[in-house]
Amino acid sequence: MAGKIRKTERGRVYFIGAGPGDPDLLTVRGARILAEADRIVFAGSLVPEESLHDLNDRGLWVDSAGLTREEIVAHLLEGVSKNEVVVRLASGDPSIFGAMAEMTTELDSRGIPWEVVPGVSSVFAAAAALRMELTLPEVSQTVILTRTAGRTPMPPGEEIEALAARGATLVVFLSIDRIEELVARLLTVRDPSTPVAVVARASWENEVVCRGTLATIAGEVRKARIMRQALLVLGEALDPERRKNARSRLYAADFTHGFREGTGPETPPPS
């Protein structure tokens, strides 16, 4: 039945997105399951454990920051073997750079049930911090989420230059420690005046926002001493003038759709 709250099951692993950092951005469902968990394996370098302890101060909290994939899976398996409610608490949303597939494959091979509880990604917390829409009518209707090659190589065709050349809004994760290299590569396909922003620790109390252009952003990032836990947003959707003049046809006075009959000419955008 729609709207029915599902019962939390023992002997099951829940991959919960903890959100970008602010505990208020944990979903209601995530908070409910977390409160019932017997074992929480969390990414200590990214998830604010202290602020989430109020939701569960009785379960076993296991910091996975220094663990290998095999050790993390072993903790999950141990919890399931004891018929516990087991949570793997990841930052943001588990579906974006969450290293979830390599763990769920192991669970599947053993017939262990698991499910995913979505979380608020840092890309959306960053957009909120920037007070922007990632998409704007007739400016950018596509958002590309990516990273640059580090220890994990990029698949063929997903080089940063190829993606940036499309002109869409580009969000780059896990690459700020190589900001000069990233900017140099972006400059081969995008104009130096292209608006750019970098948001570090989006939604945390010590959130830092840097704005600039491709020509200036590396200097701004180094000046702010941002080295990790940040993402870069690139594109014309960041331009205040483009944003001011963006108009959706859906809400135009002359636009008819299933819920409203168009009544007159569209009001022009503010000058």
Instruction: Looking at the structure, tell me whether residues 135 and 97 fall in a common domain.
Output: no
User: Which CATH number covers residue 41?
Assistant: 3.40.1010.10
Give the per-residue pLDDT at 105: 96
Residue 210 lies in a domain: yes
Instruction: Looking at the structure, tell me whether residues 134 and 227 fall in a common domain.
Output: yes
Residues spanned by the domain of 91:
12-120
Instruction: Looking at the structure, tell me whether residues 112 and 147 fall in a common domain.
Output: no
Q: How far is 124 from 149, CA to CA, in rounded Å?
A: 23
Residue 238 and residue 136 in contact, taking contact as beta carbons nearer than 8 Å: no
- Beta partners for residue 263, in sequence order: none
Give the per-residue pLDDT at 206: 92
Residue 65 lies in a domain: yes
Domain count, the chain: 2
Instruction: Looking at the structure, tell me whether residues 115 and 131 fall in a common domain.
Output: no
User: Which CATH number covers residue 200?
Assistant: 3.30.950.10
Range 21-50 average pLDDT = 91
Q: How far is 41 from 75, CA to CA, in rounded Å?
A: 8
- Amino acid residing at 35: A
pTM of the predicted structure, to 2 decimals: 0.87
| Residue 142, number of CB atoms within 10 A of its CB | 12
Domain boundary (72, 87, 120) is at 120
Instruction: Looking at the structure, tell me whether residues 141 and 196 fall in a common domain.
Output: yes
Would you say residue 38 has pLDDT above 90? yes
Would you say residue 89 has pLDDT above 50? yes
Residue-level length of the chain: 271
Q: How far is 268 from 271, CA to CA, in rounded Å?
A: 9
Range 242-271 average pLDDT = 64
Would you say residue 239 has pLDDT above 60? yes
